[in-house]
Amino acid sequence: MTDKVRYDVADGVATILMDNPPLNALGAELRLGLAEAFARADADAAVGVIILAAEGRSWPVGADIREFGKPPLPPALPSLCSRIAAMAKPVVAVIHGSALGGGLELALVCAVRVAAGDAQFGLPEVTLGILPGAGGTQRLPPLIGAQAALRMMISGRPVPADEAARLGLVDHLAPAEPRSLAMQIARAHVEGRSRLPCAKDRPGPHRRDPSRWLAAVEAERAKPRLAHELAAPRIVDCVEAALLLPTTQGLTFERAAFEELVGTPQARALRHAFLAERSAAKTLAAGARTSLSHIAVLGGGWIGAGLAAEVLGHGLTVTMIEADRQALANGLARVARLHDTAVAKGTLSEAQRQIDWARLLPATSPDAAVGADLVIEAVTENLAVKSAALAAQAVARGGTGPVLSVSCRLDPLMLASAFGATDDHMTLFISDPVRRVTLAELAAPADCGAKVAGAAQALARLLGWRPIQQGPKPGFLSMRLLTSLFDLADRTVAAGAVPHEVDRAARAFGLANGPFGMKDVYGPDHALLRHATRRAGVDADPVGQAMAIWLTGEGRRGRRSGAGYHLYPTGARIGAADPALAEVLGGMRDRIPQDAAHIQARLVAGLANEGAWALMEGRAYQPSDIDLVAMAQGFPRWRGGPMQSADEAGLLMLRNLLREWASGGDPYWQPAPLWDDLIRNGQRFSDLNQRGS
C-alpha cells in the first residue's frame, strides 16, 4: 500500500484514510493505495463496514493537475469508483473541505455520506470543457434528481453542505465531529443495532419519476448555447442516458463522451487557462504571510479613489493623502461618487456606506501614512511627481515600507530607487475602473523583500485579484498587449479593412469587444490610450494616427459621445458601421475587404509575436502569464490566450505569415527569434511554461 493511504481495523470497522497533502488530489499513488486498501477490507471477513475519510485540509478536490496531459496510470478513477460501488460491504464517506470533480464522484460511490459543516460539493468539469468522467453524470441524477444534477454540472458551481443535505446528496450533517459520527453509524451496523445498505442497493429515489427526469433533460436541451459550448449538451445527453440505459452501459456512454470532449481545442484551452492560473504564483517573489488592517493611499485620482473605495468595502481603514486641500477634496468626492453608484446599484447599503466613510481618513501630510500596513502610491503618471511622493514617504517612514507604486509605463527600478529601499518597494499595474480589476501585475527589483511581496499578495487576496509578476522592465505586459492589439487593428485597416470589419471578426473569434470598440469605451484621453507601450523600433501606424486625428477633430470621443470609430445609437453597447469614416479612410488607402479568417490570423499572430518578444526581453517569465493578461483584457478563455491560440494554429504557419507581412518593411510584424528556436526544436510555447502543483 502506498504512503498516501493509511489503513486500520478496529471492532469490525476498517478505516481508510487518504493523506496526499495539501488537498488530497486523486493522483496515481493515492488511487493505487485506495484500490489496495479496499481490496484488503473486502477480503477481511472481520470487516463489516468501511469508513473512508481524508486527513488534512480537505476531502479530495479532484484530479492531480500534475497528471494533466500525461498518459493515465492505473488504476484509473472510473474503474476505482466502479470497484467501490460494487462492494458487498457498506462504505461510509466522511467529507470535509471540498468534494469536487473526481472527489465528489468518489463520494458518490459510497453508501452513506457524512459531511462536516464546512463541506462543499461540486462537479466543475464544465469549466474545463469536459464532463464528469468517473460516473458523476450517472450517479448524481438518481440521487438528487435530474434538474438539480444538471444545474450543478452545467453551472459548475459547488453547493454548501446544508444545501447538499436538502438535495439528498448528504445523509448526515455533523458540523463538529463528522468522523466520530461516522464511527457511531458504522459500529451500530456491526453490532446489529441498525443496518446500512451497500451502494449497489441504493439506486436512487428519483428513478421512480422518469417523466419528470425527461422533462428536466428536454428543458435543458432547449436552452440556446454558443458554438464553443460543447460540454453542456453532452452532459445533458449523459443525464438522459443515466435514465434510459443500464448502469454499465450508461458509464460507457459517459466515458465515450468524456474522451470526445477532452481532445477538443476548447478543452485544451480551458485546461491551459486553469493551469496558467495555478502556475502564475510560481513567478511571484516569496512573500511573508501578511494581514492588512490599515492602508494609506497617496493620490486621489480615479485609481487612488477606486482603490480606497474597494479597500473600505472590505472593512479596512484607509488614509487618503493628497498634496493640498483642493486635491484632497477632489479625491474624497471621487470616493463619494463611487459609493453613490454602488448604493444606486444595490451593492452597498446606505448604512454600510456611512460605516465605510467613517474609516476614510483624509490627510495632506506624508506623515499620515506612518503606521499603515501598506502604502499605495497612486499619484499622477509622472516620474518626477512619483519620485517626490516616494522620497517623502521614505523620510516619513524612516526608509522602510512596504510601498506599492501604481504605474502603467514607468521603470520599476527607478521607482524603487526613488523610494530608497528597493527591498520594500514593488510596482503594480491595474487599470481603471478598479472595481473591475481581476488581475494585478507586479514588478520588483531582484532584491525585493518578503515583507512587500507579502503585502502585495495580501492586497490581491483581499480584493480578489490574481497576481502575476513580470520582469522589472519599464511598462507592463497589459500595456504592451493592449498597444499591440490596437496597432494590429490599425494596420489591418491600413491594409484595406474598415473598423467595423475588424471588430466583427474579433468578436466572432470570441473577444468580448473588438479593438476599435475598446478604444471607444476608453475614450481618447484615457491613460491606456495615452500611454501606448511599444517595443524598440516599432511606431504607430500612419493610417491609424490619421484616423485618430480625424476623430478628435470631429469631436468623436467614443461611446459616451455617441460616435467614435463606430456609431452608437442611444443605449447601444456595440457600435454600428460608420459610412463617413469609411469614406475618409478611402482617401488614405485602397479599400480591400478582409475576411474574418484573415483578420483573426492577424490577431493571433500579432499578439503571440508581442508575447514572444516579451519573453525574450525577460519582461514575461512564461507564455501562460501572457495568456492570463490577455484573458483579463477580454481574450476568450476557451481560446486560452494568444500563446495557446498560436500553439493550436501552428507556429510554422503563423511565423511564415509574420515574415510575409514584415517583408513590406513594417517592423511591427518582425517575428521574434523565439519562433525559429521553437520550430527548430519541434516545440510549442506551452513547452516553456512552468506547471504548478
CB 129 within 8 A of CB 644: no
Alpha helices in 317-449 (DSSP H): 325-345, 350-358, 383-396, 412-419
CB 20 within 8 A of CB 66: no
CB 64 within 8 A of CB 275: no
CB 692 within 8 A of CB 282: yes
CB 304 within 8 A of CB 320: yes
Which three cell numbers mark 493? 485597416
- 259 noted as active-site residue: no
CB 358 within 8 A of CB 335: no
Alpha helices in 245-324 (DSSP H): 247-262, 265-280, 302-312
Which three cell numbers mark 620? 514575461
- 350 noted as active-site residue: no
Residue 470, strand partner residues: 443
Question: What one-letter code names the amino acid at 478?
Answer: S
SS3 406: strand
Residue 297, strand partner residues: 320, 376
Select which of 125, 220, 310, 610 is catalytic: 125
For residue 149, count CB atoms less than 10 angstroms from its CB and return exposed for 0-12, middle for 13-18, buried for 19 or more. Answer: buried
Taking residue 564's Cβ as centre, other Cβ atoms within 10 Å add up to 27
CB 49 within 8 A of CB 56: no
Q: State CA 543 to chain mean position distance.
A: 36
Select which of 29, 36, 55, 105 is catalytic: 105
Active site residues: 105, 125
